[in-house]
Structure 1
């Protein structure tokens, strides 16, 4: 299980592979407008609310793949459909090289891409990356952390908890290899008793029995949601969780990347805020599918492109860096190379670099990992309920993911990008990152303290609008002596309903013709763009 990012070691044998893994990409979505006009047919209300909060318009990426396209590929000679992705408008398929290439004759197929990239006549397939647009303290809660205190306190996560920021109201999707014992053992009783496990799915076996599979996911979940007084307290004990199995513990194939993307898309549909994935991919059972360091560029792998789409939809994806530093391939795996994920390295209990933790940078020179947390001798729960320690970035990642939920609870109106930036800026070596720990060990107390100043500045950008909510008129005022150029207003479904040129540094516009509701605005000035949401009464 090379992709289970914990220090387990097994050997593999190689056989001949008659069938190839590939992706078939489509050139459109004929029913797109019908779905966009009826968003609840493809997204839950909570997913729509997350987009409204972050000023993210619904677009064609949200629309499912055309069912007729899927049916025709399924009926093609020698082709098996294994997974699908609406964001990439693609199916993961298996078949012979000739049968896969024959799919390009279908008028709605734009291209095919083989997992064995030597079979692709056009070279690497690159998909444009999408990016998103842009309290009050209560009585302190003191948790009996026991041996888990160190992994929380080195991040000042206890300060968040003491102010009752424990992940309540946030939803985390855990995408892993299995969750046996979560439905029965004592460390997860608090989650069960408070109905905080919202559901899940086993994508590998295509069934709803997610309390099965490899214990890795159970161990990962326990560092966030586990609770045994004086022994183990997770970093987000009051968050809600979805549990998804995408990892086939018996095989290492590119299909697992596609299943992972499929699970992330479902997490988006359900309104999940944060995804933790303690999985990574670099080497496969078929060595023809292996990645090279040069391909760790954030856009080559299917999973990494899917991870960046998740960011574009307003989620924060937290990914283990990997445990390969002592191997011939010491670098991070995919999707840890994606630009907009939070990639997590590992440190020891005293804050020093863990010798196994995979290093950066990415092949295109970006800082990775982003930050680090304790992954050496992390305290966690086993399926039988016993409390143990284990090592790997598999555990530093969820320790951070839980605190991401707790920090976001404190600032629920902030975007995913703003929360991620607060975390990076709080880290111990933010001004001098390196390839081992990235920006260093984050200080969530500092992130909480710096939140209002840092994010308010980001929100204002080069202009501001008021009043909000508005009745008839809206005033647009520039900041930093910027010269206003234009404003455009959209519905939350991306439809432009107002556009006007602007001039000067202040301008009042009449929006009385708009219906009551939430809208997204985009303003250009001489010093950049500002986006946000407004409410029309």
Structure 2
């Protein structure tokens, strides 16, 4: 009888565990929005404000925190656990029984509820996800010095020689655990320089990212940017400053991890981070009702990909691994137009068969570019240099190079850096779904960026308006130029229109353009300037 009772209790427990659902609760409004925007130091760091100002990024309602009173009320509701929050979406990630979550609709401040299980949604909304990085293998080797190939492949070492090693740039590494980073010799260089600015574990809700972790993935990823062992190993951005964030709950496969990621990206933005590296990908969950369909991976549907697009709009450069699913396709947020998605090649520059392939499902060319991800060199938590395979490593290797390039070209914005790198790549004129635009040449990108002379101050001002634009764009050249050439690019670097303007003919019809973010290059008599243009 006791055994039967125990069995019944176990079955009930399993039923209740299965019945728990995840959902996003979107809230109606925020407090003191205009006051906060007028006084941005109350919601952002000065570093963040300066970065946004430098790249003409507007501080808006999305920068204002979620109403904490609403969150407190949600926490008191029967059967509801609040797991994460997002100021960008003005949303809270909750877990509970379906009936208890639906009851939240009765709260006046709740606008909408979208379940992670799309079958539970009355109308189409966001859904599901999970990591496909299970085939990454690490083995110890003792052939030191071979890490040189992974930076020479894209001529990142030329930037180091020119003293662009990441100084003054800030990077957020959003990943799993970072054991050893706080004590092994391979990270002493970054520690001694005081370049680990902060840490946070969004899963455990504490600052420990080193000890109570179930994964060393973050350590391996971080080493490819910041690791340093004299004469044996140098990361691609050794002098940058870093924040280390855990959003991956390694033993589990649950959509709350995408909410943790958005929280981390929001914090990165508020701290003034320039570049985010995300060596994580989401596609399948333990609960298959949460898993993404192929159609979901269009770059605009999943919660994390929508977050990545906002992060891009906020001025950050979002470098993302393509995933390790081969022909099964790219995972989120690598599908996002705002992500700079990195595929993997081997040491000879050949496509690595595990690297996730893009498709027509993505609305923009994916992957973007590629670099070494097969048998990449890393530093493990035991301070041993090893090789590891996965786009988890091609991403940080490339991210460090981009950090150095942006350091060298501080007047460029994130979209312009992305365009320069695509244009420098080996198959820019013939991209494919395997390695995108190909393997970049950052030395070429740097030289191209340095050769771009902006219109001199003495030439009076260049005016491009309205921006955003719907139908006709007005381009007023500086008075010393009689005429000029306009080239319109997508944010992926694809040329969509070339036109001419003059002092008497200033208008260009853009009504046939699809909505989105474009780059406009204005050229006149040896001078040029590239601007970000939004078409509604």
- Structure 1 and Structure 2 fold alike (TM over 0.5): yes
Counterpart-to-counterpart distance in 2, 1:404 and 1:505? 32
Counterpart-to-counterpart distance in 1, 2:414 and 2:249? 30
Counterpart-to-counterpart distance in 1, 2:478 and 2:203? 57
CA contact (8 A) 2:355 2:391 kept: yes
1:157 aligns with 2:156: yes
CA contact (8 A) 1:428 1:439 kept: yes
Cα deviation 1:245-290 (Å, max 9, x = unaligned) = 1111110100010001101111111111101011111111111100
CA contact (8 A) 1:361 1:369 kept: no
In structure 2, the gaps of 5 or more residues are 1-13, 128-143, 469-473, 480-504, 511-519, 523-529
Q: Which residue of 1 aligns with 2:207?
A: 208
Q: Which residue of 1 aligns with 2:293?
A: 292
Residue 98 and residue 272 in structure 1: after superposition, are their counterparts in 2 closer, same or farther (change >3 A)? same
Q: Which residue of 1 aligns with 2:380?
A: 382
CA contact (8 A) 2:168 2:407 kept: yes
In the TM superposition, 1:223-372 aligns within 5 A as 223-325=224-326, 330-361=328-359, 363-372=361-370
Shift of residue 68, structure 1, vs aligned partner: 1.8
Counterpart-to-counterpart distance in 2, 1:487 and 1:158? 38
Counterpart-to-counterpart distance in 2, 1:189 and 1:40? 33
Counterpart-to-counterpart distance in 2, 1:217 and 1:486? 44
- Which SS does the other structure have where 2:151 is aligned? helix
Shift of residue 124, structure 1, vs aligned partner: 2.5
Q: Which residue of 2 aligns with 1:391?
A: 389
CA contact (8 A) 2:151 2:236 kept: yes
Counterpart-to-counterpart distance in 1, 2:169 and 2:392? 21
CA contact (8 A) 2:323 2:391 kept: yes
In the TM superposition, 1:125-164 aligns within 5 A as 125=126, 146-164=145-163
- Which SS does the other structure have where 2:263 is aligned? helix
Shift of residue 92, structure 1, vs aligned partner: 0.3
Counterpart-to-counterpart distance in 2, 1:288 and 1:258? 17
- Which SS does the other structure have where 1:169 is aligned? coil
Q: Which has the higher contact order (CA 8 A, sep 6+)?
A: 1
More deviation, 379-388/92-101: 92-101
Q: Which residue of 2 aligns with 1:516?
A: none
Counterpart-to-counterpart distance in 1, 2:462 and 2:343? 43
More deviation, 95-104/373-382: 95-104
CA contact (8 A) 1:246 1:260 kept: yes
Counterpart-to-counterpart distance in 2, 1:244 and 1:118? 32
- Which SS does the other structure have where 1:17 is aligned? helix
Residue 194 and residue 17 in structure 1: after superposition, are their counterparts in 2 closer, same or farther (change >3 A)? same
Q: Which residue of 2 aligns with 1:414?
A: 412
Shift of residue 430, structure 1, vs aligned partner: 0.8
Cα deviation 1:43-95 (Å, max 9, x = unaligned) = 10000010111011210010001112212222222211100000011000011
CA contact (8 A) 2:116 2:126 kept: no
RMSD: 2.7
Shift of residue 107, structure 1, vs aligned partner: 2.2
Counterpart-to-counterpart distance in 2, 1:503 and 1:256? 45
Counterpart-to-counterpart distance in 2, 1:485 and 1:294? 36
Counterpart-to-counterpart distance in 2, 1:268 and 1:40? 13
Residue 476 and residue 238 in structure 1: after superposition, are their counterparts in 2 closer, same or farther (change >3 A)? closer
In the TM superposition, 1:69-80 aligns within 5 A as 69-80=70-81
CA contact (8 A) 2:305 2:334 kept: yes
Q: Which residue of 1 aligns with 2:371?
A: 373
TM-score, normalised via structure 1 length: 0.80
Counterpart-to-counterpart distance in 1, 2:476 and 2:80? 61
